[in-house]
Chains A and B, each alone.
Chain A
């Protein structure tokens, strides 16, 4: 099994629908991240969490919310999806003090 698992891998939804992307990890890392990748823009940070009670906004948090249900689980929600949220979303984890992030396989979201 992968160290960082993202579900779903692919999702097509319609404008206005609520969508949740889920991330779970077996690394035991305390820090978890959600990034968004768009062509020509690289990866940009949406939200990050240092532990279950510590959640922080990244560069592009508008239109998104997150929940850290447990140390191993970090979900990203789009309350009312819009077409410009069509992107590839990555979850990543890191242990505090370490210098490497572990990435999930990505979730491709298409909003029609």
Chain B
């Protein structure tokens, strides 16, 4: 079974600065996807960024980028130029791409990020 670990329950950053959220995972599979979801106070689950394990290039979406280290099973999220609207709970998640296992999204416990003015 896969596990996802987020070791930082809470983090804070000043507006306009850069912050990195950590995520590690454990799997024996080689083909999978990794995700970062954002959950603002509205509680909606919003997909921030997605990484395919077979792609070496790190995914980027505007101010959000990842550092994907497959051998180390590490998947960190970097938020540049932090904005007040980035204040939210962030979840790292894993999805197998192995046939019969391609059904379940496994989540970490989350990191609460607060952006201070």
Contact = CB atoms under 8 A, between A and B. Distances in A.
Contact of A48 (B6, B9, B103): B103
B45 A103 contact: yes
Contact of A90 (B45, B47, B95, B109): B45
A55 to B, nearest CB: 12
Interface string A90-112: 10101011011101011010000
B103 A50 contact: yes
Contact of B103 (A31, A35, A41, A108): A31
Interface string B70-114: 000000000000000000000100010100001111011110000
| Interface size grouping (class) on chain B | 20 to 34
A101 B33 CA distance: 12
A87 to B, nearest CB: 12
Interface residues of A, number: 25
Dominant SS among interface residues on chain B: loop
B44 interface: yes
Q: Chain A CB within 10 Å — which of B4, B103, B107, B108 has the most?
A: B103
A102 to B, nearest CB: 9
Interface string B17-60: 00000000000000001000000000111010010100000000
Interface in A70-99: 88, 90, 92, 94, 96-97, 99
A106 B102 contact: no
- Which 8 pairs show the lowest CB-CB distances between chains A and B? A103-B45, A42-B107, A42-B109, A43-B107, A99-B33, A106-B43, A42-B110, A101-B105
Given A50-B103, A100-B50, 17 more contacts: A31-B103, A40-B9, A40-B110, A42-B6, A42-B91, A42-B108, A42-B110, A44-B107, A45-B104, A48-B103, A90-B45, A92-B45, A99-B33, A99-B95, A99-B102, A105-B43, A106-B45
